[in-house]
Each structure stands twice: as C-alpha cells, then as structure tokens.
Amino acid sequence: MSFSGKTKEELARIEVERGCCQLAELAALVRMDGTLQISSNRRISLNIESESAPVARKIFKLAKLRLGAPVEIAVRRKLRLKKHNSYLVRIRVNDKVLQDLGLVEQDMQISPGIKPELLKKACCRRAYLRGAFLGGGSINNPEGTYHLEIITNDETHAKALCKLINRFNLGSKISPRKNWFIVYLKESEHIADFLTIIGAHRALLEFENVRVLKGVRNQVNRLVNCETANLGKTVDAAVRQIENIRVISESIGLDKLEKPLQQLAETRLENPEISLKELGEMLSPKVGKSGVNHRMRKLEKIAERLSEFPAKR
C-alpha cells in the first residue's frame, strides 16, 4: 500500500466523538465526493463514492450518527484493468440535512465554499480538513519529493480550503489543472504540521523518520562533496608546487635558494601528498599554514622568472 493509502486508512479509523466534529468531517467528505440525485418522486439522495473501504465505512458511520437518515452502502466491482472495487454510500436526505451539511442555503440555493457554522471551533476545522483529505487528498512518499495536495472541481471550495489551511499558517497554494483545482503544500515542515492537524500520527512518525534520514544523508553527501573538492584543490596545488620546485632545481639548483625556501622545497618533494598545514609542521622551526603559503608563492615567482629567462648552472 502506498504512503498516501496508509495515511488515509489511519485517518478513516479515527473515532470522532464530538457531534460538531462528526458533522464537519462528513460535510467535507460529501462536498469532495458527493453528488445529488433527485428521483422521479422528488426524493433526494446523496451519493458518495470512494475506492477505499475504510473511508466508505466512515461515511456510513458518520451519516448514521449525525443525520438520522436512511443510509445504504453498495459495492461496485471493477473488472477492467484489475481496478479495485468502489463503494457507493447512498443517504436519503431532506432540506434540513442539506442545510446542516452546508450544501444549500435556507432558500435551497447551492451554498458556495464552506459553511462558516461548520468551522466555529478549532476541533471542527481540523475535522473538516481531515474529511477533505480523505475525500480528495494525496501525499507523496517522503522518500521522494515532498508534496501533499487536495483536489476539487469547485474553485470556490478550493479557495475556502486554502484559506482554512492557511489559518494554521501552512502556506498552501492553489494550482488549476484542466477542470480541477489543486490545493497543495510542498514544504516538508508544513506537510508534517498538516498531518498533525488532521490526526495522522502514525503517518507523521514515518514521515519524520524518513525526513530525518534524508537530512542526515544529504548532510553526509554535502560533507563528502566538500571534502572531495578540498582534496582535489590540495592535490592540484601540490602538483603545481612540485612542478615549480623542479623548474628551480633543474635551472639553478635548490642549494641556491634561501635556507627557508630550500628546506620547504625539499620537504615538499619528499612529501607530495600532504597539506600545507602538515607541511609547515614538518619544518624546523615549525611554520603556520599562511607562512608556508607565503613561501610557496615566492617559489612560484622564482620558477616563473626562470621559465622566462632560463639560467645555466
């Protein structure tokens, strides 16, 4: 099962005790996946379809608890391409139920966005987001890129969801995609906070474990790359220094140099692989890295002059 699937299964099994939160979560699920059906005898039904059995069971349970309306569930078997079954929850509703769910106004006009009464309490806001994620959300495996999104075909609802998420300072944004609107989060910290808000604690632990491991791995890679780069610079510098010393040796001989420069040149030839700091510690008396670097520049200038005006020994 994917990380997104496991997260939804965990959320679907959360027992919601408060009636206000039950209604808020159900309202979000209905808004995300529900369709209204009016029969010939003017009976109104809400049909909510889901490919997740735990989510379908949750819708069924919440509808039984909060609406007091007839509810039935059916399984649709999909044989093509070996797809999973889908589950259809049908709720017989009336005007009051539709108003309670925030789908219509008192005059039975379609209600845009999210009904404010559903979001009065912090717990209800969390419950609504949990329902929205269960109905149309997904989250990438944290081993890959960080991405969480909730998809809806209603631009007004997408803006309301974005505003609701951002009440928790998560910085969500909206992106249109064909006939859909995507409310998304990309920052790992924001995704972790969102999982906390909706109550996905197991998913959060797994997400954080992977995030820490990725952070350590990236830090190690940066350090290795840095060390490799420094080592490469050290090797290149050593090769250049040895070449300068050989030019001097072949032109005038190292014995013609000042004693400090002669000692440094001979020590470098004997130890081509060590750093300037280690080189300075081998001199007598010891010299710091900056002092060794200063002497190396002197040797380089001498080698450049000898290359331009070769001297006979």
pLDDT per residue as tens digits for the range 95-140: 888 888 888 777 777 777 898 899 999 999 999 999 999 999 999 9
As a whole number, the mean pLDDT across the chain is 86
pLDDT for res 79? 59
pLDDT at 28 over 60: yes
pLDDT for res 310? 61
pLDDT at 313 over 60: no
pLDDT for res 73? 86
pLDDT at 87 over 60: yes
pLDDT tens, 37-64? Answer: 877 677 888 888 888 888 989 999 998 8
Q: What is the 3-state secondary structure of the chain?
A: CCHHHHHHHHHHCCCCCCHHHHHHHHHHHHHHHEEEEECCCCCEEEEEEECCHHHHHHHHHHHHHHCCCCEEEEEECCCHHHCCCEEEEEEEECHHHHHHCCCECCCCCECCCCCHHHHCCHHHHHHHHHHHHHHHEEECCCCCCCCEEEEECCHHHHHHHHHHHHCCCCCCEEEEECCEEEEEECCHHHHHHHHHHHCCHHHHHHHHHHHHHHHHHHHHHHHHHHHHHHHHHHHHHHHHHHHHHHHHHHHCCHHHCCHHHHHHHHHHHHCCCCCHHHHHHHCCCCCCHHHHHHHHHHHHHHHHHHHHCCCCC
The CATH class for the domain spanning 3-199 reads: alpha beta
Spans of all domains in the chain: 3-199, 216-308
